[in-house]
């Protein structure tokens, strides 16, 4: 199975900050990677697929990059609504696997 490792596990930041979350795959997954946002008690929400394609309706302050084994999710200017947990997911091969999550907290 492909292991997905996110860093950091927790990130403290302030409104207006630029933040980056990293996701590493245990083997190359080309650009078969998605990012999700999850708020407490809610279902995950798709943000980005194919490593860098923004899902319709997602604010442009979110962006993704990377290929192969290393990927990043960047939020250019944090908004109050962005404090949540973020997950990466590979879909290069079954079983699909998720990173362990990065909790973005208010500093």
Partner 1 sequence: EVHLVEAGGGLVQPGGSLTLSCGASGFIFSSFSMNWVRQAPGKGLEWVSYITSSSSTTSYADSVKGRFTISRDNGKNLLFLEMNNLRDEDTAVYYCARGSGWLDSWGQGTLVTVSS
User: Which residues of the shown chain bind partner 1 in the complex (CB under 8 A)?
Assistant: 1, 32, 34, 36, 38, 42-46, 49-50, 55, 87, 89, 91, 94-101
Where helices occur in 13-70 by DSSP H, the ranges are none
State in angstroms the smallest separation of the CB of 81 from partner 1: 18
Candidates 48, 16, 53, 19; CA nearest to 34 is: 48
Task: Report the residue number, 62 or 87, with the smaller CB distance to partner 1.
Answer: 87
**HSE-up (13 A, CA, CB side) for residue 8:** 8
- Judged by beta carbon, residue 18 or residue 50, the one nearer partner 1 is 50
> Which tokens in the block code for residue 9?
């596990």
Q: Coil, helix or strand for 82?
A: helix
For partner 1, the closer CB: 20 or 101: 101
Residue 14 Cβ, how far from partner 1 at the closest point, in Å? 25
């Amino acid at each position: 199975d492909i292991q997905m490792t996110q860093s950091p596990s927790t990130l403290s930041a302030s409104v207006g900050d630029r933040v980056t979350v990293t996701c590493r795959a245990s083997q190359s997954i080309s650009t078969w990677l998605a990012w999700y946002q999850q708020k407490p008690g809610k279902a995950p929400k798709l943000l980005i697929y194919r490593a860098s394609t923004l899902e319709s309706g997602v604010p442009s302050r979110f962006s993704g990059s990377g290929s192969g084994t290393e990927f990043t999710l960047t939020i250019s200017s944090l908004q109050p609504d962005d404090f949540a947990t973020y997950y990466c997911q590979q879909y290069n091969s079954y079983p699909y696997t998720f990173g362990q999550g990065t909790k973005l907290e208010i500093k």
